[in-house]
Chain A
Amino acid sequence: MSPRLARSLLALGLAFLPACRVGRSQNDLTLAGSTSIQPFADKWAEVFMEKRPGLGVNVQGGGSSAGIQACKSGACQIGMSSRELKGDEKDLVEIVVARDGLAVIVHPSNPVRGAKVSEIKQIFAGDLTNWKYLGGPDRAITVVTREEGSGTRGAFQELVMGKTRIYRGAITEDSNGTVREIIAHDPYSIGFISLGLVNEQVRALELDGAAANEENIRAGSYKLVRPFLFVTKGEPTAQAREFIDFVLSDEGQALVKKEGLLPIK
């Protein structure tokens, strides 16, 4: 091999070096799981690390199920789940760190202000297909849902659909953002996203007469709410305990509120 070729190969190798992960110190805390919780966990970790410089906190996504599995196998100290634990997951220790409302959203120009949860269920099951049955215009309803495996879809399935399937013809998008984008541009569409992500581009429907807001969730009249859980295998380790205590403290919960979630207290 010519020296020149050897040099360029070496340069190539060096160029890729930064991509490799540098092993993290043993003290570090790793969280993994729900991508709905991930942005909030990032915020907590950021503030926490400022206060507690010695301890690093790693936040990874992967989805609720993957996070729970990672926690079980010991790959991370804290798993994040945006759905209730089920079956053999129940032997893990769970801590509710925040709650998130689920908003059913429509285009702002849609004259329909609210609906019964049972009607929403019929819409997503594909049985109720025209806005006129809800007092709206005589136009077909464009139903937008999330992809299979998403925590938000899982929560909607559990809270609204029960055993009924979301019908096959529903438009499927892979993030809260794209669902909101489609609803914001299609006057006859309906979809669901995390309550904290509702903005002026879309309007949340009143469900069973209750507007989608914190007050009604607290009062129990707005039913579409899911817990954000931290799960640990057995009692949390000292570092995990410290982080969880911070998350549950007034300061941690204030962060939650600022980002559009519902604090637990």
Chain B
Amino acid sequence: MKARRKSRLERNDRLVRLALLVVAFSAVSVLLVITVFIFEQGTPVMFKYGLKSFLAGKDWYPSEKAFGLLPMIVGSLYVTAGALVIGVPFGLACAVVLTEFSSQRVRRVIKPLVELLAGIPSVVYGFIGVIILVPFIRETFGGPGLSVLAASIILGIMILPTIISISVDSLQAVPPSYREGSIALGATRWQTVKMVLFPAARSGIVASIILGMGRAVGETMATIMIAGNAAEIPGSLLAPVRTLTSNIALEMSYATGEHREALFATGVILFVIIMALNTVANATSSKRRRQS
């Protein structure tokens, strides 16, 4: 009697394990399906017109079979770099203040608030950009306002929560003995931050920046709303710009035939860039794990 009950329990156990395994792998298989689908749809047209015409062509006129993605590749890089220039100094400064120069109480209020920033939908960021930032740039600096500058500022704000929360975690993970040792040697608190904590938390901070970069590369809605989307390499900070993600979202609704495939090709290039970023991020964070 007892033995039978036990075997039934064991069988149930196996079933549950199998079910969980299926569910776990379904997530991975979705990634696989997406990858295969994008490459299957996007690569034929790339090879038909030549990889070079896609990567180095400056003209994006799909109705005339001109599929140059260079302006969008450069546009994505500009906007991402701009977002980092804005987001990294502010993010790191905020992380340092939260871990080293503020009381536990302040930290307990500020940190959740910062994380709340991540929960604001990107369309809201875009909307605020259009209503407040774009007219401000147009009236103060000239140009159309929809620009590299506007996109950089908004994306810079959007990546703050990623940078701040991961940097805070890695600064807090530095053993207290490091801090104490530095203070005991006569270093000021700022010297401690600069010469002891930053080097010790370096890989975590780098990982936070790379993850922020990934967010900036992938952002679509806010970028479409505030970047102006001109398919040309921007000549200045005040010129409009189109990113790879905007290119897909902007034209997907009407695209057919090779135009549609060329948008998938845009996706392939985006995919490669994001994968490269993720690989670098994983490499740095696993290095961190080994160190600690």
Question: Which residues of chain A have a CB within 8 Å of any CB of chain B?
Answer: 1, 35, 61-63, 65-66, 69, 140, 142, 147-151, 154, 157, 165, 167-174, 182, 185-186, 189
Contact = CB atoms under 8 A, between A and B. Distances in A.
Q: Which 7 residue pairs spanning A and B have beta carbons closest together?
A: A149-B254, A168-B232, A63-B254, A172-B229, A142-B144, A171-B228, A169-B232
Interface in B192-237: 224, 228-232
B104 interface: no
Nearest to B227: A171
Contact of B60 (A62, A66, A140, A168): A168
B251 A63 contact: no
A168 B229 contact: no
Interface string B60-97: 11111000000100000000000000000000000000
B144 A148 contact: no
Given A1-B16, A186-B145, A189-B144, A65 B254 contact: yes
A147 B250 contact: yes
Interface of B: 15-16, 19, 58-64, 71, 135, 138, 142-146, 224, 228-232, 239-240, 242, 250-251, 253-256, 259
A168 B71 contact: yes
Given A169-B240, A171-B144, A148 B256 contact: no
A1 B254 contact: no
A173 B259 contact: no
A111 to B, nearest CB: 19
13 contacts: A35-B253, A63-B254, A65-B256, A147-B251, A148-B63, A149-B256, A168-B59, A168-B71, A168-B232, A169-B232, A172-B250, A173-B229, A174-B253
B231 A168 contact: yes
B239 A169 contact: yes
Nearest to B228: A171
A41 B6 CA distance: 67
A186 B254 contact: no
A105 to B, nearest CB: 15
Given A1-B19, A148-B62, A148-B63, A171 B253 contact: no
Contact of A174 (B135, B239, B250, B259): B250
Contacts of B256: 63, 65-66, 69, 149
B254 A168 contact: no
B146 A171 contact: yes
Contacts of B19: 1
Nearest to B240: A171
Contacts of A169: 230, 232, 239-240
Given A171-B229, A174-B224, A182-B146, 10 more contacts: A147-B251, A148-B60, A149-B63, A149-B256, A165-B64, A168-B60, A168-B232, A169-B230, A171-B240, A185-B135
Nearest to A150: B254
Given A66-B256, A172-B242, A182-B146, A165 B16 contact: no
Nearest to B66: A165
B174 to A, nearest CB: 43
Nearest to B68: A168
B230 A172 contact: yes
A201 B224 CA distance: 22
A147 B72 CA distance: 14
Contact of B15 (A1, A66, A142, A165): A1
Contact of A168 (B64, B135, B230): B230
Residue with the greatest number of chain B CB neighbours at <10 A, chosen from A142, A148, A168? A148
A149 B60 contact: no
Contacts of B229: 147, 171-173
Nearest to B62: A148
A172 B228 contact: yes
A91 B194 CA distance: 75
Nearest to A163: B64
Given A63-B256, A168-B60, A172-B242, A186 B144 contact: yes
